[in-house]
Structure 1
Amino acid sequence: VVKERNLLEIIQKQFNLTDILINRRLKKRDINQCCQRLLDERQHFLNILTKCRLKIDKNYNLAQNGTISIPWDWSFASNETL
């Protein structure tokens, strides 16, 4: 729990998020893996996620309140751009 909370705080600070949420049905291992991958690839996401509400979930989604949901096992091909 400490590692998960610490990673979530780091993600929130690194991306200057207004909030970070998680789907509590996800395994802590999967949440930690997702957070670590976001940190490793932050140069790809910094412009998109800055000042957003981010939710780590099971699917991609953009909610009416502006929350951006990404799946815990997100991926993009090397030739894709965001």
Structure 2
Amino acid sequence: PAVREAVPPSCRLLLDSGIRGGTDVLKALALGADGVLLGRPVLWGLAADGAEGVSRVLGLLAAELRSALELSGCGTPADAPWLTTLGAGR
């Protein structure tokens, strides 16, 4: 949230570190990121099964994000600002 407040609204904020699952995507978006960049998961999928592997990884991440939204009771990441208070101080 501090970074989001420090940059103008026209600046796109992207998180590029440690995204491994849909819950990571939800947390990043709830904290104010406009999007996330995926490195390792996509490369793992590519190494395992080429383009099909990448497609499967992206599908799994999307399914995990939908599941995390449902379990948190949120329709969209914008509905989840309360997630920013979880784990404070870690």
Normalised TM-score (structure 1): 0.28
Q: Which structure shows the higher helix fraction?
A: 2
Which one has a larger percent strand, Structure 1 or Structure 2? 1
TM-score w.r.t. the length of structure 2 is 0.26
- Structure exhibiting the larger radius of gyration computed from Cα positions: 2
